[in-house]
Structure 1
Amino acid sequence: MPLLEMRSINKSFPGAKVLKDADFTVEKGEIHALLGENGAGKSTLMKILTGIYRKDSGDIRFDGKALAVHGPREAEALGIVMIHQEFNLVPPLSVAENIFLGNEGPFTRWGTILWPALVEASRRFLDQVGLAVAPTRPVDELSVGEKQLVEVAKALSKEAKLLIMDEPTAALTETEKEKLFSIMRALSGRGVSIIFISHRMEELFAICDRVTVLRDGAYIATRPIQETTIDELVSLMVGRQVEDRFPKAVVAPGEMILEAEGLQNDRLKGVSLHVRAGEVVGIGGLMGAGRTEVGRAVYGLDRATGSLRLKGRNGENFSGLFHHPAEAIAHGVAMVPEDRKDEGLVLLASVKENLALPTLDRRARLGVIDQAEERRMVDGYVKTLQIKTATTEQPVRNLSGGNQQKVVFGKCLETKPRLLILDEPTRGVDVGAKVEIYQLINELAASGIGILLISSDLPELMGMSDRIYVMYEGRITGHFTGQSVTEEAFMRCATGGGQ
């Protein structure tokens, strides 16, 4: 008997039917991937399972009984626990406090928490996930990988029978990812079922037993992982054959756009690089190597010493360093940030407001916005970037991850950049939307824009870059052309070796 059966699940929101007779079944002790493009219905299905949303119709059975929960607390009491892509941790509190936050009952007497008992209990769960940190240590002192393991320990403290993991490896190093996979296998061996949601296709074949594909809110297929291929899964997801996951176009590089010399701060140790018009220049390395910090220093978000030489939007030359992003934008530099939700978008604002925000002054006359011109601009980007939205007045938080990322791209492109910095541009984006973003990168390069592509996804760097800089502990340790780099050479440089 399966642990979980979801049959003919339907869910509609105003103006859109999100789930259409969707089916999903998970066996006891299996690791089951849930796959689909952004907007396919994965998140909605999981929110129904955990009680965040109510289904319109359909049947759910869990552990042999009909399931009807009215919130995450009820779901957790039954053993259904979800680890979200964004950590649900309180950074100033200790590891032990985070593990039992909201579940302190067994450790209280007369309204007082018995701290030694709580700390000792948290230590047992930390041992289960192999995390050797003091339970009393504040969470904000931990690495991203350690925080992920605290989330797993927290789930185990709730006696999880079914663990839902949403993009759990998105910010992990290879070492941290392998450690997480080892823990997942151990949990599976103890009978815990795991639903694994990831857009990194290679990971599915490393850890999962089966995979279910949703498309446009409907169930498409379930496959044993050993009986399918990446190409088949991509085809099932998008409903068509995707010939090339990395459709790199060849563009002859033009004039020098950016020359950075000796960028240095507490994270960078004398970084020098250059980008020509029409070039896609990758920056790679392991977590903490300084990839993002290079983009932030060039864009004026982080203070640094060193120098920049930039050929600006109107052909003017800039020398020095930017002290604020507004200064960088004025000279033709734009940046798609790593964290689109916190740094790239105003989530409560509409699609239109987000697209228009960086260039309001261009459409204002005496403090009054030209609404007709703004509508033309916004409609143009929605059409050109194929942003899927019911209306431009829709809050951007309601869009899928891929469409949110397209809105961030549109904001940047409206500033008319000569240099575009892309920091993890496809993180949390499905395969179909990734290909659309790659094709957009090709078009931008062909138009003469220089692109700095910062990514933790090595296949992406190798597939889309003309040249790649590899970083280790704030330094550049390797420089390759896109054709000459190998995974072995990249990792040698990324771990401190030479070229």
Structure 2
Amino acid sequence: MTGSEENILEFNDVVKSYPGVMALSHVSLAFRKGEVHAIVGENGAGKSTLIKMTTGAVIPTSGSITIDGERFTRLSPAKAREKGVAVIYQEFNLVNELSIAENIFLGDPIALHGFINKKAMVKKSQEIFDMLGINVNVMSQVKDLTTGYKQLVEIAKAFTHDVKILIMDEPSASLTTNEVDTLFSIIHKLESKGVTVVYISHRLEEIFEISDRVSVLRDGHMIGTYPTASKTKDQLISLMVGRQFSEQFPDRSGSTEEEVVLRAEHLSGPKVKDASFTLRKGEILGFGGLVGAGRTETVQLICGINRLTGGKITYKGKDFVARDPLDAINKGIVMAPEDRKEQGLMLHMSVGENIAFPSYHVCSKLGFINFSRTNQIIRKYIESLSIKTPSQEQLVRNLSGGNQQKIVLAKWLARDPEVIILDEPTRGIDVAAKAEIYEIMVKLVESGKSVIMISSDMEELLGMSDRIVVFCEGKVTGELKKSEFSQESVLSLASVNNSTEKEHKYE
């Protein structure tokens, strides 16, 4: 066991209630100095509330928090920071028009004689990224980064001050295996220096690899704290959901058909150099590779989001080039993007409006919407996808990540597509919601639909794919059949153009 027996952070009989909701109910929990302590639980279990209390963003209704021997009944963000608390949230807090260095010091710039010292900020930012082992130009604008690199900027921001307690909320959600390895090496460095790392993740394999102890929350209650090595994955899931849990990946009945629905030959475009693959009817085709390998950019060429500059696409036996995303949608190709909140949903609108929006034109006549038909579609997909919402009038922003992801799927399934492209379909959702998304995917392909799944979660990629196409630096470097699946085979193809792992370039 790493870490001392001395506690650095304690929650003492903490309660947090909102009108009609008990977010945390008499939770007591202690974190030791220099340990990696994981917190797990389904969405809505109370993890986020616990984090926000530690940072001073949420005030307990009752109870107290002790940090490094000092007891508080309420914390301010400034006091939490003064006590050495830093947090890396799952949701980004970045300004796209600013550089990486400017984002790292946003709100707390390095100053010299009353003026912002940009040179010092660039130097310090570069030192942080060098320490993280990441090759990146800190003068690059954040808007030019992929989601994975934006997450790395968030991680780097936490290292600008002396940190005693570092809270990581789904820090690896956008990272591939190599980036996760880098993250874990940094965590081990911090652990050896006496920093306490509170690690929150839905990727349970990471919990077992990185943490010393694990605490389980369920419905706002503390279920228990255990040495991580004392539990199996199935035992941990059962503690989280309060019941026995079946296999993570659903069984598949039947086999993939040989009919090719979509064929890509030597595609090129923005960040894509040479991508060739086939998609068969009734299969889940996995896209593997490192962040920035060109997986998302390749499907964006198919969907008409980016312009195809070379190569050929054949769809249902005919040459195909989407003029724009609407053209692709009308021809039966839809895409659920990686960042559901920024690109997949209208958070300020209701569940019903989000589901129905892409289908309004088919529910309209002479310019008038047939609301009876629209409501039938909404009800159908709320029920068939088991979307947990008080009503279709509920604002999407108030739902859990898993239910938000189901709404992204629902709005496109209502268009009855042939090809469904899922970019990181289970990013940031809990194990129970993941299982439900997987069941939906299996039902889709068993009904004859075809799915392209881009995933940085190696376990998901291997567990859900019928075949895997691997990308590296904008090129397809290989294809794996089910019998050839392994983490090693995917990573070998993902780094085939690099002589050593250290030479991977981050765009």
Distance 2:303 2:140 in 1: 34
**Aligned residue for 2:392?**
392
Distance 1:421 1:223 in 2: 39
- 1:450-479 per-position Cα deviation (integer Å, ceiling 9, x unaligned): 111111122212211111111222222222
The 1:53–1:370 alpha-carbon spacing in structure 2 relative to 1, beyond 3 Å, is: farther
**Aligned residue for 2:37?**
32
What RMSD in Å do the two structures reach over aligned CA positions? 2.6
The 1:475–1:250 alpha-carbon spacing in structure 2 relative to 1, beyond 3 Å, is: farther
Given that 1:248 and 1:464 are in contact with CA atoms closer than 8 Å, whether structure 2 keeps it comes out as no
Distance 1:482 1:281 in 2: 11
The 1:5–1:275 alpha-carbon spacing in structure 2 relative to 1, beyond 3 Å, is: same
Distance 1:302 1:66 in 2: 54
Structure 2 counterpart of 1:352, which letter?
G
**Aligned residue for 2:404?**
404
Given that 2:354 and 2:407 are in contact with CA atoms closer than 8 Å, whether structure 1 keeps it comes out as yes
Counterparts of 1:118-133 in structure 2 under 5 Å?
129=132
Structure 2 counterpart of 1:414, which letter?
A
SS at match of 1:11: strand
Distance 2:460 2:179 in 1: 20
Match of 2:271 among 260, 267, 285: 267
**Aligned residue for 2:477?**
477
Distance 1:484 1:127 in 2: 36
Cα displacement (A) at 1:217: 1.8
Cα displacement (A) at 1:328: 1.0
Distance 1:469 1:122 in 2: 35
Counterparts of 1:271-310 in structure 2 under 5 Å?
271-304=275-308, 305-310=310-315
Distance 1:490 1:121 in 2: 35
Cα displacement (A) at 1:71: 4.5
Pairing 1:84–2:89 present: yes
Cα displacement (A) at 1:379: 2.2
SS at match of 2:244: coil
- Structure 2 spans left out of the alignment, 5+ residues: 1-5, 499-507
Distance 2:298 2:7 in 1: 49
Cα displacement (A) at 1:152: 4.3
Cα displacement (A) at 1:183: 1.6
**Aligned residue for 2:421?**
421
The 1:309–1:116 alpha-carbon spacing in structure 2 relative to 1, beyond 3 Å, is: closer
Structure 2 counterpart of 1:184, which letter?
I
Structure 2 counterpart of 1:2, which letter?
N
Given that 1:107 and 1:118 are in contact with CA atoms closer than 8 Å, whether structure 2 keeps it comes out as no
SS at match of 2:189: helix
Pairing 1:348–2:353 present: no
Deviating more after overlay: 423-432 vs 117-126: 117-126
Given that 1:246 and 1:464 are in contact with CA atoms closer than 8 Å, whether structure 2 keeps it comes out as yes
**Aligned residue for 1:314?**
none
Structure 2 counterpart of 1:103, which letter?
D
- 1:109-134 per-position Cα deviation (integer Å, ceiling 9, x unaligned): 3x433556666666665665556767
Given that 1:9 and 1:23 are in contact with CA atoms closer than 8 Å, whether structure 2 keeps it comes out as yes
Deviating more after overlay: 270-279 vs 120-129: 120-129
- 1:267-311 per-position Cα deviation (integer Å, ceiling 9, x unaligned): 223322222221111111122221112221111111113332223
The 1:14–1:70 alpha-carbon spacing in structure 2 relative to 1, beyond 3 Å, is: same
Distance 1:135 1:362 in 2: 47
- Structure 1 spans left out of the alignment, 5+ residues: 312-316
Cα displacement (A) at 1:74: 3.5
**Aligned residue for 1:56?**
61
Given that 1:295 and 1:423 are in contact with CA atoms closer than 8 Å, whether structure 2 keeps it comes out as no
SS at match of 1:37: coil
Distance 1:129 1:451 in 2: 35
- 1:215-268 per-position Cα deviation (integer Å, ceiling 9, x unaligned): 122211211112122121111112222231111313333433222222211322
SS at match of 1:348: coil
**Aligned residue for 2:256?**
253
Distance 1:123 1:334 in 2: 39
Structure 2 counterpart of 1:235, which letter?
S
Given that 2:174 and 2:427 are in contact with CA atoms closer than 8 Å, whether structure 1 keeps it comes out as no
Distance 1:291 1:135 in 2: 24
**Aligned residue for 2:3?**
none
**Aligned residue for 2:179?**
176
SS at match of 1:17: strand
Deviating more after overlay: 434-443 vs 136-145: 136-145
Structure 2 counterpart of 1:425, which letter?
P
Pairing 1:100–2:105 present: yes
Structure 1 counterpart of 2:273, which letter?
K
Given that 1:251 and 1:278 are in contact with CA atoms closer than 8 Å, whether structure 2 keeps it comes out as no
Distance 1:127 1:497 in 2: 22
- 1:325-368 per-position Cα deviation (integer Å, ceiling 9, x unaligned): 11111111111111111110011111111111111112223333
Given that 1:129 and 1:149 are in contact with CA atoms closer than 8 Å, whether structure 2 keeps it comes out as no
Deviating more after overlay: 440-449 vs 260-269: 260-269
Given that 2:45 and 2:219 are in contact with CA atoms closer than 8 Å, whether structure 1 keeps it comes out as yes
Distance 1:34 1:185 in 2: 18
Deviating more after overlay: 194-203 vs 51-60: 51-60
Given that 1:149 and 1:180 are in contact with CA atoms closer than 8 Å, whether structure 2 keeps it comes out as no
Given that 2:54 and 2:75 are in contact with CA atoms closer than 8 Å, whether structure 1 keeps it comes out as no
Given that 1:355 and 1:378 are in contact with CA atoms closer than 8 Å, whether structure 2 keeps it comes out as yes
**Aligned residue for 1:46?**
51
Given that 2:53 and 2:75 are in contact with CA atoms closer than 8 Å, whether structure 1 keeps it comes out as no
Distance 2:26 2:411 in 1: 37
Distance 2:167 2:423 in 1: 27
The 1:392–1:231 alpha-carbon spacing in structure 2 relative to 1, beyond 3 Å, is: same
Given that 2:23 and 2:219 are in contact with CA atoms closer than 8 Å, whether structure 1 keeps it comes out as yes
SS at match of 1:483: helix
> When the two structures are superposed, what TM-score results if normalisation uses the length of structure 1?
0.90
SS at match of 2:194: coil
The 1:389–1:467 alpha-carbon spacing in structure 2 relative to 1, beyond 3 Å, is: same
Distance 2:124 2:477 in 1: 44
**Aligned residue for 1:157?**
160
**% identical aligned pairs:** 45
Distance 1:481 1:126 in 2: 37
Distance 1:61 1:123 in 2: 35
The 1:253–1:129 alpha-carbon spacing in structure 2 relative to 1, beyond 3 Å, is: closer
Deviating more after overlay: 94-103 vs 20-29: 94-103
Distance 1:6 1:380 in 2: 44
SS at match of 1:270: strand
